[in-house]
Structure 1
Amino acid sequence: MKDGDSTVPGLEKPYLDNAVDMVFWGHVHSYERTYPVANMTAYKDGNPYHNPKAPVYICTGGAGNQEGHTGYTHPPSPWSAQRIDRFGYTLLHVYNSTHLYMEQIDVNNNGTVMDSVWITKNQGFQRNFW
């Protein structure tokens, strides 16, 4: 039986148990970045990307396909930090064990950065859950 809410993938528990900081997925032909989110709760206070309390999810489907973009047909979820419906690709820079930098690049605008986020952690940071 699947753990968690029936409307989200059932991998949240292993992500939380293993202190995963960032999760990438595709298929939806658009781009979206979340705030750290767990148990349908978005962590937005202060700098939510420093010592995040939960994983940040990146839907990196903006490369598109012959059918075009999926488009957004409903309002963003409370944990949605950024949505972009343009062609692009994602770069992840792993600087060291405490610094990740992710960029979403716009292919139709000379490779400009459409979105970016730093995930930073204090050395030795451990998540404490409920």
Structure 2
Amino acid sequence: VGIVDADIPIVESSKQVPWKSKRCIAFDCDGSIWTNGNFQQATEPIDKWTRNQDIGLEIDLNVVPRTLRFFINGRQLSRYVSNIPARVRFFSTTILDGDWFQVKSLFIQEHPQGHLRPGDIELKQEESTIDYPVVI
């Protein structure tokens, strides 16, 4: 699951893997986060996820720089990505035949669930991966 720059086309193919682009941020089931063309390995074993778990992504567009936070069953991960573009698309990729996902909610909220906590680890998205100005 993840986000891509809004200008990256998403096609109707299970063979397309959006996270092969540097303009993508993805959260893989092994707990790794793909950003800037590289995987950042999980820092805690509980950051891994599997089927039948709720995976959440939250973008806070009201902070500078904008942030993307990840959740597993409502638990916020310690790693987050900053410098998020203002225009994104959400995606999910199924790898195995028979895999599926369900979007349970997609909404705008006044107050984010995620908050910066002591010990959180920032992964900064490089501005060179975005093809339009980042508001700072």
Q: Give the structure with higher Rg (CA).
A: 1
Q: Which has the higher strand share?
A: 1
